[in-house]
Amino acid sequence: MTKKEKLVRVRKLVEPIYRKLKIWPHGWSHVKNVAKFTKLIAEREGENTYLCQLAAYLHDLGRLQEEARGPVDRTPGVQGHAELSTEPAKEILDKVKGLQEKDKKAIIEAIHYHSLKEFPTRNPIGLILQDADKWDGIGRFGAARLAAFNAEMPITGSEARSDPDKVLEKILKFASNNKNQRDKLITAMRFVVEWYDLLNTKSAKELLKKDWEFSKKYLQKLEELNR
């Protein structure tokens, strides 16, 4: 089996799991995007695209357990989705033939810490995964994800993918009619706009620049609604 075939196999194993998630911004489309971005960043950084993509496909598996628990609980000591992802990720990695122990360990470490503000080691898989994960919150599609998840606006994943411009207009309309949702979206967008400085790799900064510029402008439009 080639590495490409192994990745296809892993995709087939994880897709049905992510499809069970009720909240689309963290579901299969997000994971596919993260895998795509991970590959782009890893290529530019000269890092192992295969290992980085494996980490991307497995990085949010714990969302299912987290979602089943109820609203996201950020109390210190309570395991978040990143830590919850490591066990199901190990189970799948054990099915991938030919992986070295050190590579498995690096992938699990990348998954374990991916949701921290700063990655605690110099593990390239972790640094790249974190950047790719952030990318999906930036730009047009990112704004739609935030509107649906953080501001609970009725935006579907398929409309966000098929007609992003129409969706962005729709979000502005919701935001102008509902201050509570608007404020939630502004808070989320501000957080995301600040991510740019936290990106780990030079390549991600280059690749994301346009999407980041978009997010900054869109945030301004939202903030203007408060004036």
Does 66 bind Fe ion (CB under 5 A)? Our answer is no
Q: Could you tell me the sign of the dihedral formed by the alpha carbons of 14, 16, 20, 24, in that order? A: positive
| Residues 186-205: x where in contact with Fe ion by CB under 5 A, - otherwise, as a string | --------------------
What whole-number distance in Å separates Cα of residue 147 and Cα of residue 37? 21
Per CB under 5 A, the segment of 4-12, 42-50, 130-138, 183-191 that binds Fe ion is 130-138
- To Fe ion, the closest distance from the beta carbon of 81 in angstroms equals 6
Tokens of 163: 């007609």
Q: Which is nearer to Fe ion, 2 or 75 (CB)?
A: 75
The pairs formed by 38-45 with CB atoms below 8 angstroms and a separation of 24 or more are 38/128, 38/129, 38/132, 40/132, 40/203, 40/207, 41/128, 41/131, 41/132, 41/201, 41/203, 41/204, 41/207, 42/128, 44/201, 44/203, 44/206, 44/207, 45/124, 45/128, 45/201, 45/202, 45/203
Per CB under 5 A, the segment of 72-80, 97-105, 115-123, 191-199 that binds Fe ion is 115-123
Determine the size of the site formed for Fe ion (CB under 5 A): 3
Does 131 bind Fe ion (CB under 5 A)? Our answer is no
Does 60 bind Fe ion (CB under 5 A)? Our answer is yes
Which amino acid does the sequence have at 69?
R
Per CB under 5 A, the segment of 91-99, 128-136, 191-199, 211-219 that binds Fe ion is 128-136
- To Fe ion, the closest distance from the beta carbon of 96 in angstroms equals 20
Pick from 47, 131, 133, 211 the residue near Fe ion by CB under 5 A: 133
Alpha-carbon radius of gyration of the chain: 18
Which amino acid does the sequence have at 171?
I
Per CB under 5 A, the segment of 86-94, 96-104, 133-141, 202-210 that binds Fe ion is 133-141
Which residues contact Fe ion by CB under 5 A?
A: 60, 115, 133
